[in-house]
Amino acid sequence: MPDLTTTNVFVLEVDGQQLGSFRKVSGIENESEIIEYKEVTKDGKMIIRKSPGSQKWADITLERRVDTDKGLWEWRKQVIDGDIDKARRHGSIIAKNSKMEEVARWNFTNAWPSKWVGGDLDAGSNEVNTEKITIAHEGLERV
């Protein structure tokens, strides 16, 4: 059994280019809607059957410290400017260990940034200023 390693870095890759390293990622989720229907058994008992319906994917939110790179903002600005076709991209979330080796990868399709948060600015705080981006997409797969 391989040793357990701590994941230290999450990388956002969009159309083959790295858009940054992140300290926190959420929303790597997939679920099936549940379709319920009633059925009568041979014994005359009423039961509820459950079947899988449409697939749903959560939006992905990434958080990192603010730096001079404006790549995330420029991607979001394409949506603000109304160029959603240009903003839709394919990409990956890549988890790396302390040796910067890839541990896991999730590929997403037709993604675009639905929200960007520039962080709370507080000169009296000891907290690191962070920015967040939320990405809407049409599919996610662990590869």
Residue 131 belongs to domain with CATH number: 2.30.110.20
Domain that holds residue 60: 7-142
Name the residue with higher pLDDT: 62 or 120: 62
Contacts 24+ apart (CB under 8 A), 30-39: 30/55, 30/56, 30/57, 30/58, 30/140, 31/55, 31/56, 32/56
Residue 92 within any structural domain of the chain? yes
Q: What was the pLDDT predicted at 122?
A: 82
Q: How many CB atoms lie within 10 A of CB 111?
A: 22
Give the pLDDT confidence of 84-132 residue by residue, as tens digits.
999 999 999 999 998 899 999 999 999 999 999 987 788 888 888 889 9
> Alpha-carbon distance 72 to 86, whole Å?
14
Give the pLDDT confidence of 7-48 residue by residue, as tens digits.
689 999 999 999 999 999 999 999 999 999 999 999 999 999
pTM of the model: 0.84
1: helix, coil or strand? coil
Confidence band for 3, pLDDT divided at 50, 70 and 90: low
Residue 93 within any structural domain of the chain? yes
Residue 14 within any structural domain of the chain? yes
Residue 2 within any structural domain of the chain? no
Count: domains in the chain:
1
Q: What is the full DSSP assignment across 64-126? A: EE--S--HHHHHHHHHHTT-HHHH-EEEEEEEEETT--EEEEEEEEEEEEEEEE-----TT--
Residue 1 within any structural domain of the chain? no
